[in-house]
């Protein structure tokens, strides 16, 4: 895992966006896994800026979102369909037919989840998956004790996740209790993973995910099993890591490393 620490959220977001842009510049028809939540907003804003000002082209891109709340219609302001449209899709040139977001309103969740997994395979797999992390260490909505081999499925959200996300709703009772989420196993099949975290309330989860044992109690720790992970943090999210000097040393020495 490559751990990249920047002092501010803005700097961290710029690094994250550049990592995505590098994938896209190498492979214009990349398949990008998208995440919602406050964390990736800075990355999306920077990618939109690159699209507008530098011509970063999304015309051949396909996207798959990690998750969606169950029960919210797609046009509900807090649905992840609305979120993605508002913060990213309406600002770039991804063909609408190439955008996949799990359905929170299907009548057959099992069939939908199987179809979603198949669509990812048909698209050739995900080239880079963007991830946030929950304060309970979840990736997507894979709450503690989710199988590290799990696939896309219906999940019951943890109380802590409902409390964390209540800030987006009028009252906590309005937060959905269930979600459709890609599984940890689904996420680990992406060729490259980019996990982002900022703020003190993520510091413990990040320390557990990066330096703790691999455990389904912190599903983000499964990323230790993946061969190509970049972890972009601000200083607050990195504050409980014990090996910061080493991570910074590796970054500092990178330009001099032998070319692969
Ligand atoms: P956040 O959510 O970016 O809004 O903090 C992250 C997550 O729950 O995965």
167: its two tokens:
């800030």
Question: 103: closest CA among 178, 185, 37?
Answer: 178
What is the residue with the minimal CA distance to atom 4 of ligand 1?
37
What is the CB neighbour count within 10 angstroms for residue 207? 19
pLDDT in tens, 109-139: 999 999 999 999 999 999 999 999 999 999 9
Provide the number of structural domains found in the chain: 1
What is the residue with the minimal CA distance to atom 8 of ligand 1?
134
Q: With 80 as the cut, is the pLDDT of residue 260 above it?
A: no
| Residues with a known catalytic role | 67, 136, 138, 143
13, 35, 38, 39: which to mutate for ligand 1, most atoms within 8 A of CB?
A: 39
* pLDDT of res. 259: 81
Q: Which range of residues forms the domain containing residue 84?
A: 8-192
16, 33, 35, 37: which to mutate for ligand 1, most atoms within 8 A of CB?
A: 37
**112 CA distance to ligand 1 middle (Å):** 24
Q: Is residue 48 part of a domain?
A: yes
Q: Is residue 219 part of a domain?
A: no
* pLDDT of res. 26: 97
What is the percent of the chain where pLDDT is above 90? 98
CB 70 within 8 A of CB 175: no
CB 67 within 8 A of CB 100: no
Closest atom of ligand 1 to CA, residue 196: 3
What is the residue with the minimal CA distance to atom 2 of ligand 1?
37
pLDDT in tens, 150-159: 999 999 999 9
Closest atom of ligand 1 to CA, residue 139: 9
Ligand 1 site residues, Cβ closer than 6 angstroms: 37-39, 132-134
Separation CA 20–CA 58 (nearest Å):
11
| Global pTM value | 0.97
The single residue listed with the structure tokens 């996300």 is 165
> What's the CA angle centered on 208, arms 179 and 202, to 5 degrees?
65
Q: With 90 as the cut, is the pLDDT of residue 41 above it?
A: yes
**38 CA distance to ligand 1 middle (Å):** 6
Q: Is residue 185 part of a domain?
A: yes
- Residue 199 burial by CB count (10 A; 0-12/13-18/19+): exposed, middle or buried? middle
Mean pLDDT, the chain, rounded, equals 97
CB 126 within 8 A of CB 119: no
The CATH number of residue 44's host domain is 3.40.50.1360
71: its two tokens:
């029960």
pLDDT in tens, 187-230: 999 999 999 999 999 999 999 999 999 999 999 999 999 999 99
Give the number of C-alpha atoms closer than 13 A to the C-alpha of residue 255, restricted to the C-beta side: 1
Alpha helices in the chain (DSSP H): 9-26, 41-54, 80-87, 109-122, 159-165, 184-188, 203-211, 244-253
Q: Is residue 200 part of a domain?
A: no
Closest atom of ligand 1 to CA, residue 199: 5
Q: Is residue 119 part of a domain?
A: yes
**198 CA distance to ligand 1 middle (Å):** 10
3-state class (DSSP) for residue 34:
strand
CB 153 within 8 A of CB 180: yes
Q: Is residue 120 part of a domain?
A: yes
Can you tell me the mean pLDDT for 1-22? 98
**256 CA distance to ligand 1 middle (Å):** 35
**37 CA distance to ligand 1 middle (Å):** 5
CB 239 within 8 A of CB 200: yes
């Amino acid at each position: 895992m490559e751990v990249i620490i920047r002092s501010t959220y803005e700097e961290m977001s710029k690094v994250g966006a550049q990592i995505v842009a590098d994938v896209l510049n190498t492979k214009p028809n990349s398949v990008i896994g998208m995440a919602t939540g406050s964390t990736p907003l800075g990355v999306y804003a920077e990618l939109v800026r690159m699209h507008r000002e530098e011509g970063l082209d999304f015309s051949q891109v396909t996207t798959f979102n990690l998750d969606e709340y169950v029960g919210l219609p797609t046009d509900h302001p807090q649905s992840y369909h609305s979120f993605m449209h508002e913060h990213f899709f309406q600002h770039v040139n991804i063909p609408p037919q190439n955008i996949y977001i799990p359905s929170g309103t299907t009548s057959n969740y099992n069939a939908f989840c199987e179809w979603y997994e198949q669509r990812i395979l048909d698209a050739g797999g995900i080239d880079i998956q963007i991830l946030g992390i929950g304060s309970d260490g979840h990736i997507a909505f894979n709450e503690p004790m989710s199988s590290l081999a799990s696939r896309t499925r219906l999940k019951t959200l943890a109380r802590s996740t409902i409390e964390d996300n209540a800030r987006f709703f009028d009252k906590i009772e309005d937060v959905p209790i269930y979600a459709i989420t890609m599984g940890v196993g689904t996420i680990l099949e992406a060729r490259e993973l980019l996990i982002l975290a900022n703020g003190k309330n993520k510091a413990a989860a990040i320390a557990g995910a990066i330096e703790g044992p691999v455990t389904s109690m912190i599903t983000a720790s499964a990323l230790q099993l993946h061969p190509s992970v970049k972890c972009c943090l601000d200083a607050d999210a990195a504050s409980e890591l014990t090996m910061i000097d080493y991570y910074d040393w590796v970054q500092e020495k990178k330009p001099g490393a032998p070319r692969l």
